[in-house]
Structure 1
Amino acid sequence: MDQIKGFIKNMVYRNEENGYTVLTLQAEGEEITVVGSLRAVDIGDTIAVTGTFIEHPVYGKQMKAESFSVTVPDDAQAMERYLASGAIKGIGQALASKIVKIFGADTFRVIEEEPELLTKVKGISAKKAMDISMQMHEKIDLRDALVFLQKYGVSGSMAVRIFHRYGTNIYSILRENPYRLATEVDGIGFKTADEIAQKIGISASSEFRIKSGLLYTLLQAQAGGHCYLPLGLLLRETKRMLGILEEGEDFEEVAKVQLKSLQLDQQVVVKVPEEDANPEPANGSSIVRPDSTVRPDSAVQASGREAEARVYSSYFYHAEKKSAALLLRLLEACKEQMGAGRRSALEEAVAGRIRKIEKEEGYELDQEQRRAVKEAVTKGVVLITGGPGTGKTTTIRTILRYLEKEGSDFLLAAPTGRAAKRMSEATGAEAKTIHRLLEVNAQPQKENGTGNVSEGIGVFERDEEHPLETDCVIIDETSMLDLRLFYALLRAILPGTHLILVGDADQLPSVGAGQVLKDLIASRCLPTITLQKIFRQAEKSDIIMNAHRINRGESISLDNQSKDFFFLERNDPQVIYKHLV
């Protein structure tokens, strides 16, 4: 191994992620190109590099650095060179010369310990003296932190984020509880924090590790579509994920204590059902009633009902509760507008207008479609569901014609761009994605489970303070709607606005947490119309007919007489691939 010492004259290239650097080192009267992981150094630094000289086919002789150390300039000349390099903003060659001329080899000590003495130099005010000192301290502190974190495999850009979050407290925080990084520093999750913790020597059964592991397991479940996990499943999955193999009650007891700590930190909510509670969908993604007898428990207590406890992140618990309350508000506001005494006459008038629209448009609705239109224009919230070919689109078109004749405004939206485009083509009216409808204008904020339900859903222009100004909002493909987006939508809808949710509950659920449409139907709290009749156009499609057969548990038709549904029997995977692609 060779070793050279000198000061950095020029930074040619640096990859901020992995720290790979190409720099020019002024050493022993010559300029030497040094390459390697040198993330903690900058122009003007004096460094000692250990490595191997290599001959690059294009750039010639270079030193490939294996290790390095930063040394403080130990003579007046080196100090002047450092200050004049641009490392400290506000100091150029002339001012650097003046400073070193007065303080000599004591320059760095004065800057760090007695910056007020710098005012002896012409051109340096008291304010500028403090600024120079602060810059010097920040550079030294950051460099030390980068070197420290480099030992644990932390990339340069990530190390800078950690330092900016904690400053010089970084050492005590990492040695005590590195898992704080997972919830307090953007871009760092449990896995990264766990790797750092293991390298530092934190025990695999550490209370901090178990606490962070519980939260991580819950967040992973949310990424898989669940709003909560049963307590028993949460404990088992966390233990498996952490790789804790020992049997016995130690892990479970420690985990329950840490779960209580997460509750006190308002990061999770644990719900224990009361004896008389109404059943909720047992799929891990319920929409709870605002008056539910299921209560958030203040702590996890061993009891006969403990196995039924449901553990939520605070965000999802409060988003569910507030979504339910907002839906109830829409229902009640419409009831007040209609008035009990007017309902019978109103429904009769609505039925007459629907018949008139059918005649004008040249089609005939079935009984359930008419009921769907009537409910949609008279109720605050309505669910319209049905499989393919059951007339959902025709029902929406009829609702739109009704609203147009009444002079009412409406907005159409769907969860995805493709669904919004299909909605526009089918209705002849503009439809937007829900994100565009709500005017998303920034990246989602980091969801830290604190219970602040404005977090983690993106930043939308439309909310309680800037609501959607319309008489009716119609959402298609509601089965793809997750709880985060649904809650954001509800926040932007004023009381008195009609909300119509359309979709097929048997389609694949949303990617995000929550099966909004399916759970709203299961709640039996909202007016719901299920369209079941398959119309003649749809009867010609074996895709549609077989979809309904699958839903009924019947065998599908494989006679290959269809124009749109075929079954090809092949045994060779390569042949199958060829036919599919």
Structure 2
Amino acid sequence: MHAAEEAARAVRPTQAPAQPQAQPPAAPPDPREGPPEGPHEGLRALTDLFAETGVPAPLAARTAARLGPGAAGRLRDDPWRLLRVPGVGPRQADHFARAVLGPDARPDDPRRGRALVLHLLTEAARAGHTVTPAADVVSALERVQVADPRRAVEAALDEAEVLALTEEPEFDEEAFEEDAEPPEPEETLGPARWALAEEAAAEGFRRLTLTAEPLLDDATVKGLRDGLPEDRSLALTAALRTGVSVLRGTPRDLARTALDVAAAAAGAGVRAAVAAPTDRAATVLAAADGAAVTSLHRLLEPHDDPSGAPGAVVYGRGEQRPLDLDLVIVTDASALDVELCAVLVEACPDGAHLVLCAEPDAPPPAGPGRPLDDLEASETVPVVTLDAAPQSDPIGTLTEAVRGGDLVAVDAPGREVVIVPADGHEEAVHRTVQLVTDSIPRALGIPIDDVQVVTPTTGGDAGATALNTAIKARLNPGPGRFGGLDPGDRVVVAAPLPHAAVGETGTVTGGGAHGLDVEFPTGPTVISPADASRLRHGWAITIDQARGTPRPAIVAVMTPDGLSRPLVTTAFGLAHRHLSVVQGAGPNLAKAVRDTPAPPRRTRLARLMTQ
């Protein structure tokens, strides 16, 4: 399963309805469908439809969550809407359409072409792209036997879920030669949800930059800078004098500097806040300094969508109710996709200062876009890089070597780093279970609750799903009484909840008709039955879900799939006291560290910042 699919969110301020949504709301009721269906009646109708047409029953819940209570009626009217459901491809949708429409299901049906355009762009978004060249979309439509691809694109544009965008060409030296033909603008297409979010993020960054004034006078800033190293002094100055700034450095250096800047600003009367990716990360960061730290999710005040949009979370902070802050410092801001980034800048009032912290060459976010990298590439905001403190501990030494492209052996007399070879997926799973349930608690005295397994992917024979199955069988066997979960299971938030951000982990304590009882770092909460599908088993989670939340012990399961230098660096850097590397990737691990950067993404934010 795609990481972006796991982390799909519907985020928008309650008082700013123009904000983009992560999952489109259900379509308005069609009067021909009769009275609106409740969730139970809707799911029953959908289950019946799938039984009639031979669609696997487990797909019903996922389809209802994506298309809403009236999904069955909408699919009867347009069976190719099934392509909106993650995991459904053109062949399955065509088969379903033939089962629903019979001989009327034709390859040239306008509904098919329209749905395929959105499907292709959504698949590109799952790979991180916010836009795709129109020519690539047309070529892909031809390969799936769409007779008139241009007509299909026009039909998708008419639905307003797809936008056509013109990208002005970049000029190089050859373009200015006397006989050179000027390059033609490139037409691109993007899902409206992501294209609008990218525009909103750029607009917000420009607004904060233009409305910013120094938060403190020069004499006060000079006093705060006295005695600071040059890099820390530059970071403090950028935070207090400019509307938006980027701070790069190692996780430990960033955490220390973020807390110091916030404390210095607050001591001079500035309303400041430090926001971490999860409540657990915020707790760890606050414990190191006693500072006031919160999660970004909680800072934005999430709650249920009153419109009842399926899978939606809305934020109470926005244009009409901005944050009561002068300075916001976000740790691990490289994890922000364009949608959450748009919500964040919309919540910052005019004149507020925003500091975005990230490691150098950090992995891009799980969702589409790469806002932080684009912001830096636009050269419109100051970027301060902290001098890396010398690494004396084995975990830090290994992580910094990997960041530089080298996989080295480190001396770890206290077993801070242990490499565990694994020949194949089966052995990787076996070794991981052994480490979590026995070796690390017994040999190092680190409780199982403080051990987190991370891996590049969800699927596969040694992905997060397979690892969780094996760990549950040893630690907490059970029938999965509550939607596959049992009391005692560790869970991770795979799509945002009002109660917790993506990547937050907790423990199931009970459940019933009222929902699922989960103990999160901030305390107990009840997850409604409709929202429980946003949880997954969480003994093993993807590196994307884990980023920004260090743990005492990390078991990094390295398999050949999905490896890159930024991802490996992030995985190793999550360990605070101990790192076990289950080496199931063979020579591919060293090759990925040496040669494989993060995959490129097609985005627009850097261009939008300079328009």
TM-score interval (norm. to shorter): 0.5 to 0.7
Instruction: Show the counterpart of 1:31.
Output: none
How has the CA–CA distance of structure 1 residues 411 and 144 changed in structure 2, closer, same or farther, with 3 Å as cutoff?
closer
1-structure distance, mates of 2:162, 2:238: 38
Shift of 1:378: 1.4
| Number of aligned residue pairs | 376
* CA offsets 1:449-498 (integer angstroms, 9 cap, x no match): xxxxxx98731111111111122111111122222211111111100111
Q: Is the CA contact 2:83–2:116 (under 8 Å) kept in the aligned structure 1?
A: no
Instruction: Show the counterpart of 1:426.
Output: 288
Shift of 1:321: 1.2
Q: Is the CA contact 2:249–2:359 (under 8 Å) kept in the aligned structure 1?
A: yes
Instruction: Show the counterpart of 1:269.
Output: 163
How has the CA–CA distance of structure 1 residues 428 and 516 changed in structure 2, closer, same or farther, with 3 Å as cutoff?
farther
Shift of 1:366: 2.4
* CA offsets 1:391-449 (integer angstroms, 9 cap, x no match): 222212221221222122222222223332233223422322222111111159899xx
Shift of 1:274: 2.0
Give the counterpart of 1:229 among 121, 132, 147. Answer: 132
How has the CA–CA distance of structure 1 residues 456 and 526 changed in structure 2, closer, same or farther, with 3 Å as cutoff?
farther
Q: Is the CA contact 1:229–1:312 (under 8 Å) kept in the aligned structure 2?
A: yes
Letter in 2 for 1:230: P
Query: Is 1:545 matched with 2:397?
Result: yes
The structure whose Rg is larger is: 1
* CA offsets 1:259-316 (integer angstroms, 9 cap, x no match): 12222332212333223579xxxxxxxxxxxxxxxxxxxxxxxx9747x533211121
1-structure distance, mates of 2:161, 2:422: 52
Give the counterpart of 2:237 among 371, 374, 383. Answer: 374
How has the CA–CA distance of structure 1 residues 556 and 305 changed in structure 2, closer, same or farther, with 3 Å as cutoff?
farther
1-structure distance, mates of 2:193, 2:431: 47
Q: Is the CA contact 1:272–1:305 (under 8 Å) kept in the aligned structure 2?
A: no
Letter in 2 for 1:547: T
Query: Is 1:471 matched with 2:331?
Result: no
How has the CA–CA distance of structure 1 residues 219 and 347 changed in structure 2, closer, same or farther, with 3 Å as cutoff?
same
Letter in 1 for 2:271: D
The residue correspondences of 1:315-394 to structure 2 (distance < 5 A) are 315-335=193-213, 346-347=217-218, 349-355=220-226, 365-389=228-252, 391-394=253-256
Letter in 1 for 2:279: G
How has the CA–CA distance of structure 1 residues 565 and 378 changed in structure 2, closer, same or farther, with 3 Å as cutoff?
same
Shift of 1:578: 5.2
Give the counterpart of 1:254 among 135, 148, 156. Answer: 148
Q: Is the CA contact 2:422–2:431 (under 8 Å) kept in the aligned structure 1?
A: no
Q: Is the CA contact 2:249–2:388 (under 8 Å) kept in the aligned structure 1?
A: no
Instruction: Show the counterpart of 2:365.
Output: 510
2-structure distance, mates of 1:456, 1:305: 41
Any idea what SS the aligned residue of 1:270 has?
strand
Give the counterpart of 1:178 among 51, 70, 79. Answer: 79
How has the CA–CA distance of structure 1 residues 457 and 354 changed in structure 2, closer, same or farther, with 3 Å as cutoff?
farther
Any idea what SS the aligned residue of 2:212 has?
helix
Instruction: Using the TM superposition, name which of 214-223 and 225-234 deviates more.
Output: 225-234
2-structure distance, mates of 1:151, 1:555: 55
Instruction: Show the counterpart of 1:212.
Output: 115
Shift of 1:254: 1.7
How has the CA–CA distance of structure 1 residues 561 and 272 changed in structure 2, closer, same or farther, with 3 Å as cutoff?
farther
1-structure distance, mates of 2:161, 2:221: 48
Shift of 1:565: 3.0
Shift of 1:510: 2.0
Shift of 1:164: 8.1
* CA offsets 1:310-346 (integer angstroms, 9 cap, x no match): 32111211211121111111111114x67xxxx9xx4
1-structure distance, mates of 2:222, 2:302: 39
2-structure distance, mates of 1:564, 1:256: 58
Letter in 2 for 1:489: L
Any idea what SS the aligned residue of 1:421 has?
helix
1-structure distance, mates of 2:131, 2:193: 11
1-structure distance, mates of 2:71, 2:424: 59
Q: Identity of counterpart residues, as a percentage?
A: 24
2-structure distance, mates of 1:494, 1:163: 34
Query: Is 1:535 matched with 2:389?
Result: yes
Shift of 1:195: 4.0
Shift of 1:148: 8.2
Letter in 2 for 1:540: S
Cα RMSD for the two superposed structures: 4.3
Give the counterpart of 1:413 among 270, 275, 290. Answer: 275
Instruction: Show the counterpart of 1:198.
Output: 98
How has the CA–CA distance of structure 1 residues 433 and 388 changed in structure 2, closer, same or farther, with 3 Å as cutoff?
closer
Q: Is the CA contact 2:274–2:328 (under 8 Å) kept in the aligned structure 1?
A: yes
The residue correspondences of 1:30-179 to structure 2 (distance < 5 A) are 151-153=52-54, 174=76, 177-179=78-80
Q: Is the CA contact 1:457–1:484 (under 8 Å) kept in the aligned structure 2?
A: no
Any idea what SS the aligned residue of 1:179 has?
helix
Give the counterpart of 1:462 among 303, 317, 322. Answer: 317
Q: Is the CA contact 2:132–2:190 (under 8 Å) kept in the aligned structure 1?
A: yes
Any idea what SS the aligned residue of 2:112 has?
helix
In the alignment, structure 2 segments of 5+ residues that lack a partner are 1-33, 36-41, 173-181, 435-611
2-structure distance, mates of 1:554, 1:489: 36
Any idea what SS the aligned residue of 1:474 has?
strand
1-structure distance, mates of 2:242, 2:187: 35
The residue correspondences of 1:275-294 to structure 2 (distance < 5 A) are 275-276=169-170
2-structure distance, mates of 1:259, 1:387: 45
How has the CA–CA distance of structure 1 residues 541 and 470 changed in structure 2, closer, same or farther, with 3 Å as cutoff?
same
Q: Is the CA contact 1:423–1:476 (under 8 Å) kept in the aligned structure 2?
A: no
Query: Is 1:404 matched with 2:258?
Result: no
1-structure distance, mates of 2:400, 2:47: 61
Query: Is 1:492 matched with 2:344?
Result: no
2-structure distance, mates of 1:272, 1:562: 57
Shift of 1:189: 7.3
Shift of 1:147: 8.3
